[in-house]
Each structure stands twice: as C-alpha cells, then as structure tokens.
Amino acid sequence: MKRITKILTLSAALLVVSAQVSYAGNDQRRGAAGATQLLINPWAKSSGWGGVNFANVRGLDAIYSNVAGLAFSNNFEFAYSATMLYGGRSGLMGAASVNTFGLSVRLFESGVLGAYVMSTGFGEIDVTTYDSPEAGTNGTFSPSFMNINIAYAHSFTRSIHGGVVFKVVSESTDNVSASGLAIDAGIQYVTGAEDELKFGISLKNWGPSFGYDGPGHSLTMVNYSGNDFTVETRSADMELPTCLNIGLSYDFLLPSWDQRITIAGSFTSNAFLRDIYTLGVEYSLLNLVELRCAYNIQPGLWNNDAATANSGFCAGGSVNVPLSKKEGSTTGLSIDYSFRTSYNMRGTHAFGASFHF
C-alpha cells in the first residue's frame, strides 16, 4: 500500500508540473529554449517509431523516451547508435552527426542502473568576422555538444515501474562554453492477461537555466587616448526544452509464428515548441524481425509551417539475432535502422546495435 501511495504521489507531481509546462508553452516562447539537442532521439530503434513508444519502450532506449522502461532490461546491455542528421555529410548541415554509447546493468531483481553518452558534432565550420567576412580565410572551428545521462529504474510491482534520469549538458566552441543540469522522470503501467495494454508518462528536461561563458565574450578596444581596454559581454541564460509525454499502446498477439502487432499513440506537450501528436504501428515476427512506422503530427505541418525539422513520416526495423542455443536464454544481438523525414531538409538516418544477456 505504501508503494502504491508513493507511485500515486509521483504521478500527481508529474501532472502538476505538466500543467505548468502546458501553460508555459505559448507563441511568444516558441524556439526560445537552449540545449535543444536534448530533443534529438539518438537511438535507432525508438526513433524509427517516431518516439511514440513512451508506454512500451524497453532497454537502453528508455533512458531517452521514458526511463521507466529501463526496468525491463536484461542483466547487461551495451548499445551504440550513429545518427546522420538531415543527410549527414551530404546534407544541408555539413557533417552534423550524433554518436551515442550506452550501458545498463541489473543491480538486483527489481532495479536497473543505466547510462549513456550522446555526442553531437558539426564538422569544421569556417570562421568569419566583421573585418574578414569571407569564408576560408580565417581558419575553422568545431562546435561540440555532449549529454551525459545516468538513470535508475525500479519495478515497484509487476504492473508499475518508474525511474529517474540525471543529465549533464555541455556545449562548447573554441572560446565559449556552457554547462547545465537536467532531470527526467517517468512511469509505466502494464496490465492485461498477456501484459498487452501499457500506459506511460514522462517529464523530460526539467532543470535550471544556464548560459555561455569564456574569452569569446570579451572584446579588446582602443580608446581616444590610445590605451587598450577590454569590454566583456554577458550571455543571456537559456532555459531547457522541458516537455511532458503521455503514451498508450496495445499488443495484438497472434499465436501462429509468434507474431505481434502493436498500435501506439502519444501526445507531447512542449514548453517551447508546438505540441506533437504521434500514431505508430510495429510488427514483430518470431521475435527475430521487427518493422515499425509512425507519423508525427503538429499544428502547421500541412501548411508548410512545421516547428521542428523532423516531422511527418518515420520508419525503421530491427533484426534480433540469438547468440545462445540454451532454452530461455536472453543473450542476443540487435541491429537497428531508422529513417525520419525532415521538413525542408534531407532525411535523418540512424544505425544502431545492442548486445544483451
């Protein structure tokens, strides 16, 4: 009973904060958040489903979508994913790419500890200045974004699971940098004779604002007396892109060939972007092959006024390779791919692989 009370209290807290998130989102605040790389799903499996699986996401992918799903992880899991943003090296963003490494370990029967590091790079960018605006004459610089995520998920009962994520956000160039902290929290509820009905809610990227600092904010000038003096400017603090996600999924289990068809829907309330509605479906055959697709819907999408680059259709697939012949063994390798259409840009491709036992 005490556990149920704690869970209900946490759910109520999430709903209270969600009301604040929904109220904060207005047209005057659209696009005003910083650290928006926190909204990029780096995992090939869940990104191919448009992030609709807040209710049924499992494994390391859950640390991004809904950390409660980490509670379903195996004893050990290691994963890597590479994402080419908007076409990668051949796209409009030059060499924009995301590389992600993750690891999870089951500490005891009901608790799992996980972590992943997400690094975003933009390649070499030409330096231009007021006095020398021509590209290629002043060298280059390479911005670097990195997110470090440490998560813990716990199974309170057979049906109720929850978790929390602590994030460190770092952004830097040659002469300025910024760092901040954020927290995620999530809950999943599973019910049905075959656990076919699932509900999930997660609050993401909640934390204090932060700003840039470094020598790039200083400017040396000469006054009328011929003396040098340095002027320092201050960077305005940027708020985190807080969002609330609610998802629901249902599994249709077919006994022949161990088939499964999952239909899922989700709603995302963004504090600094338009709200997003997502519908998706996944098909599984013999637990060896999985195919999935989804559609992200947001106001203005069909009027050529999308607020995010990755909007509309997305799809992906996974191949699960068992590595042990022992009955009941969970040792295996999963290979994943996803594609997301991009508004006015080339599509985003992601490739990933995970090993678990």
Domain with 234 in it: what CATH number? Answer: 2.40.160.40
Contact status, residue 248 vs residue 278, Cβ threshold 8 Å: no
Cα 121 to Cα 37, 97, 115, 349, distances in angstroms: 11, 6, 20, 15
Please give the residue range of the domain that contains residue 40. 2-128+138-356
Residue 305: band (very low, low, confident or very high) from pLDDT cuts 50, 70, 90: low
In-domain check, residue 209: yes
Predicted local confidence at residue 8, as pLDDT:
44
Predicted local confidence at residue 21, as pLDDT:
46
In-domain check, residue 133: no
**Cα radius of gyration (the chain):** 22
| 254 pLDDT above the threshold of 80 | yes
| 72 pLDDT above the threshold of 90 | yes
In-domain check, residue 204: yes
In-domain check, residue 325: yes
Tell me the mean pLDDT in the region 328-337: 88
In-domain check, residue 164: yes
What is the total count of domains within the chain? Answer: 1
In-domain check, residue 55: yes
| 6 pLDDT above the threshold of 60 | no
Predicted local confidence at residue 23, as pLDDT:
44
In-domain check, residue 172: yes
Tell me the mean pLDDT in the region 55-79: 95
pTM of the prediction? 0.87
| 22 pLDDT above the threshold of 50 | no
- Secondary structure letter of residue 235 according to DSSP: P
In-domain check, residue 193: yes
| 331 pLDDT above the threshold of 70 | yes
- Secondary structure letter of residue 43 according to DSSP: -
Backbone dihedral angles phi then psi of residue 343, each to the nearest 5 degrees: -70, 115
